[in-house]
């Protein structure tokens, strides 16, 4: 049994959940409020960040990128094509590059900022950095998302999927971060119809069903979130 320490709004946790569902390995989910700095969780991941995956017989596996590599090494079927992480080194470079683009750059510029300001800060005490959302940070994030959507559209027009001719970790990383922002209603889908059509394809996959069926208490999803015909 796999156990995933996650938070519903954490884009990196969403990425890992999508991977696990694609592999047909639904985990036991444990919600972790990282701002509480629980000692038990810090023992699993001293960085104090979600996600962390547990599997019997191996050390705790912290971080989305490390978990993705571990699952490719342990869950991907050797005889099945295509894999979410391609076999060819050159193709793997491109998938890893785009994983980093969304897990690092998009997170820093868009999803991390919006999730923190609009969700996490409502739970964090004011003396520890919580409180009302910073409108300047949100304005910058909402502006930044436009060029990311344009980049997604450009990639899909060239390749069909983000990293090539088939679905990979790159698509799941991008979709995970966009889904966290889409829950809040902050994705301007009218900016790029190609990016919107690509997201609709991923959103319709069985691996997305669990995420789309869940909601955060006190924070209802935007009308577009669970609508496959948005």
* CATH number of the domain residue 183 falls in: 1.20.1050.10
> Which residue, 140, 153, 150, is CA-closest to 111?
140
Radius of gyration in angstroms for the set of CA atoms belonging to the chain, rounded to a whole number: 17
For residue 77, what pLDDT is reported? 65
Which neighbouring-strand residues pair with 146?
none
- Claim to verify: residue 97 and residue 64 sit in the same structural domain: no
For residue 75, what pLDDT is reported? 87
> Which residue, 165, 158, 227, is CA-closest to 199?
227
Contacts of 187 (CB under 8 A, 6+ apart): 145, 149, 178, 181, 224
- Claim to verify: residue 120 and residue 188 sit in the same structural domain: yes
For residue 78, what pLDDT is reported? 52
The CATH number of the domain holding residue 65 is 3.40.30.10
> Which residue, 202, 198, 203, 171, is CA-closest to 86?
171
For residue 126, what pLDDT is reported? 85
- Claim to verify: residue 95 and residue 204 sit in the same structural domain: yes
The reported pTM is: 0.96
**Is residue 227 in some structural domain?**
no
pLDDT < 50 positions in the chain: none
For residue 110, what pLDDT is reported? 98
Distance of CA 59 to the CA centre of its chain: 23
Query: Could you list the residue range(s) of the whole structural domain that residue 27 is in?
Result: 3-75
- Claim to verify: residue 67 and residue 119 sit in the same structural domain: no
- Claim to verify: residue 93 and residue 164 sit in the same structural domain: yes
For residue 6, what pLDDT is reported? 98
Let me know: does 35 contact 123? Beta carbons within 8 Å. Answer: yes
Let me know: does 187 contact 181? Beta carbons within 8 Å. Answer: yes
**Is residue 20 in some structural domain?**
yes
Looking at the structure of the chain, the number of domains it has is 2
**Is residue 142 in some structural domain?**
yes
For residue 129, what pLDDT is reported? 83
For residue 38, what pLDDT is reported? 97
For residue 82, what pLDDT is reported? 67
Contacts of 115 (CB under 8 A, 6+ apart): 9, 10, 11, 180, 181, 184
| Size (the chain), residues | 230
Domain boundary among 41, 75, 109: 75
């Amino acid at each position: 049994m796999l156990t995933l320490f996650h938070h519903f709004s954490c884009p990196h946790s969403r990425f890992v959940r999508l991977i696990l569902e694609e592999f047909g390995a639904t985990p036991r989910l444990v919600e972790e409020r990282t701002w509480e700095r629980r000692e038990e969780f810090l023992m699993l991941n001293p960085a104090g960040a979600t996600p962390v995956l547990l599997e019997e017989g191996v050390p705790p596996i912290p971080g989305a990128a490390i978990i993705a590599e571990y699952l490719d090494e342990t869950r991907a079927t050797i005889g099945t094509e295509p894999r979410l992480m391609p076999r060819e080194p050159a193709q793997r470079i491109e998938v890893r590059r785009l994983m980093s683009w969304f897990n690092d750059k998009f997170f820093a510029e868009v999803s991390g900022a919006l999730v923190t300001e609009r969700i996490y800060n409502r739970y964090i005490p004011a003396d520890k950095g919580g409180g009302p959302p910073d409108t300047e940070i949100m304005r910058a994030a909402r502006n930044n998302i436009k060029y990311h959507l344009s980049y997604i559209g450009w990639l899909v027009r060239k390749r069909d999927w983000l990293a090539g001719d088939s679905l990979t970790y790159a698509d799941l990383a991008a979709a995970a971060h966009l889904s966290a922002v889409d829950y809040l209603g902050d994705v301007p889908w009218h900016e790029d119809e190609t990016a919107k059509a690509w997201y609709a394809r991923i959103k319709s996959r069985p691996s997305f069903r669990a995420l789309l069926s869940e909601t955060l208490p006190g924070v209802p999803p935007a009308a577009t979130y669970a609508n496959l015909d948005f």
